[in-house]
Amino acid sequence: MLPNKSTQPDSFWPQYKPGEVQALLNKDEQFHLWIENIADIITVFKADGTIFYQSASITRILGWAVEERVGQNIFTNPITHPDDVQAQQAFLIDAINNPNKIVTSTFRLQRKDGSSCYIEAIGRNLLHHPLVQGIVTTYRDITERMELEKRKEEFIRVASHELRIPITNLKGHTQVLKMMLEDHDAMEEPIEYLSIMDKQIDRLTRLINDLLDVTKISASMMDYKDTLFEVDAFIHNIVTLLQHISPRHTLRITGQSYATLCADKDRLAQVMINLIMNAIKYSPDAQYIDIEVASENGCVLIHVRDYGKGIPLPYQQKIFDRFYRVPDMDTESSSGLGIGLYVAREIIARHHGELWVESQPGEGSTFSISLPINTR
């Protein structure tokens, strides 16, 4: 803030014309009022985590007086929820180590009355800027948004559970009816219709299971059961199964890993099925889907390549976000909820691996998995 005109001699302002000083003071006061009344909390940290500026909005949002927080260090005296201290400190450390990078995080801060609220934090390291010399962060209260998200996920969880019972019954009756018609040498047409129904029920079941997995991931309740299995046989079994389901494409396997993994076989099968089925879905006119297996630097590498339309570069990271679907995909089979790749990446991350995509529009896409070889 500029020094008060009334406390400074006229010689302090020699470069300004009459009236300009007051205009500058008015502008400074106006800017000060903007900052102090902004909806978000603005905090500026020193490099060691000490707060040297705190906007007045902290009182309105969290109940703390500015004087209670200025001079405090979040590494030694945070007002963070005990379960989220590590997340907030990691947020600041990321900003400290990466000048000019925009860093983001979500965690809970504690109000003075002992309650807590969810905060969306955005920070930027401007320690090198001579007029700032600090890490500027904004904290936005997103408690209402998070509560709405929780209610939505609970609804999805309950609805998915309720849907599984009638879907299971419907599948059972469909299969029984199909067998009865086959035993009585019925016309092929009704049997074909029942086969189509059975496949659509399987598709609906996968969608329901994916929705349940999304809610489990959000609640950190995803269940895993690790067992030892041979990777190459595992891949071959999945490809053989899917080849029968999708005879229009030829699924080609190349390479071997000669590796044994201790991992959740069913969850990894879920990932592989998702990747191969996506390759089939998004390359309807292609003849081949290639699956390559190898081992390198202590990791199993699996590549699933299609020869479809490819994914434009701006969307290649977004496709792993929850509920995200690439716009303007005009393939006839592009329906879906946009959660399969989100769930797949979470499963691979749990196994300390990586899942990524390389793609060129018009040349197809290659989804790759890297899993550390671990036998226990």
CATH number of the domain enclosing 173: 1.10.287
- For residue 251, give its domain range: 227-372
Same domain, 107 and 174: no
CATH number for 339 = 3.30.565.10
* Helix (H/G/I), strand (E/B), else coil: 308: coil
Task: Determine the 3-state secondary structure of 241 from DSSP.
Answer: helix
Percent of the chain with pLDDT over 90: 49
Average pLDDT (10-19) is 55
17 located within any domain: no
> What value, to the nearest 5°, has the Cα angle with vertex 264 and ends 262 and 270?
135
Q: Note whether residue 86 is domain-resident.
A: yes
Amino acid making up residue 246: S
**Model pLDDT, residue 216:** 80
Establish if 8 belongs to a structural domain. Answer: no
Identify which of 109, 104, 77 has the alpha carbon closest to the alpha carbon of residue 91: 104
User: What is the mean predicted confidence (pLDDT) over 135-149?
Assistant: 90
In a domain, 83, yes or no: yes
pTM summary value: 0.63
Residue 10 lies in a domain: no
If asked whether residues 213 and 89 sit together in one domain, one would say: no
Residue 14 pLDDT: 53
DSSP string, 172-230: HHHHHHHHHHHHTT--HHHHHHHHHHHHHHHHHHHHHHHHHHHHHHHTT------EEEE
Q: Is the pLDDT of residue 327 over 80?
A: no
Note the helical H segments in the chain. 20-36, 57-62, 66-69, 85-97, 143-183, 188-218, 231-245, 265-281, 340-350
pLDDT at res. 25: 58
Q: In this structure, are 248 and 343 located in the same domain?
A: yes
Query: Both 204 and 247 in a single domain?
Result: no
**CATH code, domain with 114:** 3.30.450.20
When pLDDT is cut at 50, 70 and 90, the band that residue 331 belongs to is: very low
